[in-house]
Structure 1
Amino acid sequence: MTAVETQLVLVTPPIAAPEAFLPALEAALAGGPVAAVIARLATPDDRASVNVVKTLARLVQAKGCALMVEGAIDTVARGGADGLHLIFDEARVTEAIERLAPDRMVGVAGLKSRDDAMSAGEKGCDYVMFGEPMVSRHAEKNGVLPPFAAVVERVGWWAEVFQIPVVGFSPDIAGAGALAQVNADFVALGDAVWAHPDGPTKAVAAALAALRQGQAT
């Protein structure tokens, strides 16, 4: 299998007031090429979320990045985002693709099994993501990361078998290289960038270096 050029994706913390987050986001995008930003909205179904997305889109798209929104389907088009990032649910995936494709992308995360991932792929999603923090009706499980070794294995399996792009979520910058090594199309980072002791710009630069190193091994 020919190795892909693994690209970087940034996952924001939940955003309520975009103006407060824009300096960190702008700093991160100054660290090097980023393929996409997945914006998590603090109030995804609120009317104000459209304005949040519009504000983010102006910055993100001006930098040549795609803006994916984890929120309501209507918010994507009304806010001018490039697509919807959603937690797997068969009915919602079907609805999102019917309403947004082909003009906007639909990416699917929260995949608890290989069957879930294949189902999302068969429905026509634009990418699948493995390894993101869990979202559960059980509050104590929310935000818990799956074992990283299992994420690397799942990403490698998907990249080997399927043509639909795969995103691997890494809990830290060092893990980005491991995901690049198994031919992830994209590596996503969240708090590893926003909480980096040297700031988001250096975090992104370090992540891109890790991707290059991973692909070279």
Structure 2
Amino acid sequence: MAEPAARLYLVTPVLTDAAFAPHLAEACASGSVAAVLLRLGSADERTLINHVKALGPSVQDHGAALIVAVEGEADLATIAARGGADGVHLQGNPASARELRERLKADRAVGAGGIRTKDEAMTLGEAGVDYLLFGEPRPDGSVPALDTVVERAAWWAEIFETPCVAYAPDLAAIPALVATRAEFIALGDAVWSHEGGPVKAVAAAVEAIGDEEEAG
């Protein structure tokens, strides 16, 4: 059987406790999710580490990688290492990306989002990140136009070897993003707010990716 055209990368809401664990477990239970970006609200380091430890098994026990991002200032390398996460995610800062790459070596993944320009994307790629995320929600909750995300992801996937993640604001956007040849399709509210729950949302996403692969 051919490898899927893309794999799923889920993005959580900003979390301030471990109450979201059952939703994570539901979404990841099928084994179809490659990674989860765990977005944590601002807190002290010990609290953040404890959140990662509490939420991590719901993701990692189902074979998905746990990637951590924190709102505001935080020592991501320490939080990931002590919490047992598989990687970290930062917002468009090449200097920070280089520092994290140096500190984490090859032990954990380093990803980047919040990318505004093609030049910034290339600079982050040169900084040694393991993937770039295009199109994720802005701090105010809005998302870039789908056409813009499609163009950016297609440009990156065609030219560069570093994998990219393309954010789908809804399930209907998946086919257009899969067609860019992005390695991962990211989903957020489209999974967590799905009327059928996370399990049905993930199943629908996998089906959409498979349909696009067959069409291609």
TM-score (norm 2): 0.92
| SS of residue paired to 1:152 | helix
1:4/1:183 contact within 8 Å kept: no
Distance 2:31 2:172 in 1: 17
Partner of residue 108, structure 2: 104
Partner of residue 15, structure 1: 15
Deviation of 1:31 (Å): 4.3
Match of 1:152 among 131, 150, 153: 150
2:134/2:153 contact within 8 Å kept: yes
Q: Residues 178 and 32 (structure 1 numbering): CA distance in 2 closer, same or farther, change over 3 Å?
A: farther
Partner of residue 87, structure 2: 83
1:177/1:212 contact within 8 Å kept: no
The percent of aligned pairs where both chains have the same amino acid is: 48
Matching residue's letter, 2:180: V
1:99-133 deviation digits (Å, cap 9, x = unpaired): 11211110010000000100010111000010001
Q: Residues 182 and 32 (structure 1 numbering): CA distance in 2 closer, same or farther, change over 3 Å?
A: same
1:4/1:185 contact within 8 Å kept: no
1:179/1:214 contact within 8 Å kept: no
Aligned length: 208
Partner of residue 33, structure 1: 32
Deviation of 1:46 (Å): 3.9
- For residues 48-197 of structure 1, what are the structure 2 equivalents within 5 Å? 48-71=47-70, 72=74, 73=76, 74-135=78-139, 142-197=140-195
Deviation of 1:209 (Å): 0.6
Distance 1:200 1:32 in 2: 13
Distance 1:197 1:60 in 2: 21
Distance 1:45 1:128 in 2: 27
Partner of residue 139, structure 1: none
Q: Residues 104 and 204 (structure 1 numbering): CA distance in 2 closer, same or farther, change over 3 Å?
A: same
Runs (4 or more) in structure 1 with deviation over 3 Å come to: none
Deviation of 1:39 (Å): 0.1
Question: Unaligned 5+ residue runs, structure 2?
Answer: none
| SS of residue paired to 1:84 | strand
Distance 2:185 2:80 in 1: 22
TM-score (norm 1): 0.91
Q: Residues 16 and 101 (structure 1 numbering): CA distance in 2 closer, same or farther, change over 3 Å?
A: same
CA RMSD of aligned residues (A): 1.5
Deviation of 1:4 (Å): 6.8
Distance 2:131 2:24 in 1: 23
